[in-house]
Amino acid sequence: SWSMENVLDQELKVIKETVGPEDHVICALSGGVDSTVAATLVHRAIGDRLHCIFVDNGLLRYKERERVMETFTKDMHLPVTCVDATEQFLSKLKGVVDPEMKRKIIGKEFICVFDDFAHKLEQEIGKKPAYLVQGTLYPDVIESCPPPGTGRTHSHTIKSHHNVGGLPKDMKLKLIEPLKLLFKDEVRQLGRILNVPEPFVKRHPFPGPGLAVRVLGDVTEGNALDTLRQVDEIFIQSIKDAGLYDLIWQAFAVFLPVRSVGVQGDQRTHSHVVAIRAVTSQDGMTADWYYFEHKFLDEVSRKICNSVRGVNRVVQDITSKPPSTIEWE
């Protein structure tokens, strides 16, 4: 009969049969549930012939690298190398304001970092890694080849930077996609059976280009990234404290490159505006803005302005998808 336990046994069997006893496998961990579950599955099947990389591109959330690495190593015992490529990414993004350009640059830099990792690993193990694990889900498979006439091309574009077609050519990596027949909720179930920590299993989705698409305009301007991290952390923590996290598909803050006048203490200020956004959704294709209680919004707004330097105004995004997208860029 069909159960997640059977899916797990079947997947482990397939991976063991596919990957030869001497083969090594690499995997890029994003910190999200899909790549984490995919890597855990492969790790269970072949042990430390799996080699993971986690890239800090300088566009991650508050303390994300530390938090995610701690979970990977201490709780899950995954073999993972952390690469801090902050300077590399941010120097390439300087002055860039076009959202698609940001995505292209980030995708290209990621491939450089990954390429470097793969080649260093080759030196270390004395042979080329044979396989690459990807956390591709069933909806991604459909979206990458949208049935004709459905007009589902937008999601194809959004996923373009995840495309690893440009990976090291001399590596000739074959793909392992253990989740490619599963939907997101099934991946979460599988994660639970594999003892992936619950907070990880329930994590909201986060876009590959990270905060680059949540700082509107040039992400390297002033303290935009740090400011956004602080605001986002307050918003998300408040949502968790209020017990609302699991009711929401995605929640985040956006840094706006505009200033407004405020009065803080005895001072007239001319500081930044941030937006907060929370939506419910089944699959991210459509979404409804989430209805917070006034008291909650009031507290979040006060907390943000009182504790984040350089912010004197908070607005809420009350638009659904369509006509908006979930992200602002």
Interstrand relation of 80-84 and 50-56 (parallel, antiparallel or unpaired): parallel
| Number of amino acids touching ligand XMP (CB under 6 A) | 14
- Is 284 a binding residue for ligand XMP by CB under 6 A? The answer is yes
Print the binding letters for residues 235-264 with ligand XMP: x by CB under 6 A, - otherwise.
---------------x--------------
In the block, residue with structure tokens 């591709």: 136
Tokens read off for 165: 């077609």
One-letter amino acid at 245 equals: Y
Task: Out of 129, 135, 178, 209, point to the residue binding ligand XMP (CB under 6 A).
Answer: 209
Q: How far is the CB of 134 from ligand XMP (least distance, A)?
A: 12
Query: Residues 324, 284: contact at Cβ < 8 Å?
Result: no
Contact call for residues 46 and 17 (beta carbons, < 8 A): no
Q: Does residue 208 bind ligand XMP (CB under 6 A)?
A: yes
Binders of ligand XMP among residues 95 to 114 (CB under 6 A) are 103
Q: Is 135 an interacting residue with respect to ligand XMP (CB under 6 A)?
A: no
Position 134 contacts ligand XMP (CB under 6 A): no
The 10 Å CB-count burial string (b at 16+, else e) for 208-217 is bbbbbbbbbb
Q: Which stretch binds ligand XMP (CB under 6 A): 60-68, 158-166, 172-180, 227-235?
A: 158-166
List the one residue from 207, 211, 232, 251 that touches ligand XMP (CB under 6 A): 207
The answer to whether 215 is annotated as binding is no
Long-range interactions of 97-104: CB distance < 8 A, separation 24+: 97/217, 97/218, 99/213, 99/329, 102/209, 102/212, 102/213, 102/219, 102/329, 103/160, 103/161, 103/208, 103/209, 103/212, 103/213, 104/161
Annotated binding site: 30-36
Give the interface with ligand XMP as residue ranges (CB under 6 A). 103, 158, 161-162, 205, 207-209, 250, 284, 321, 325-327
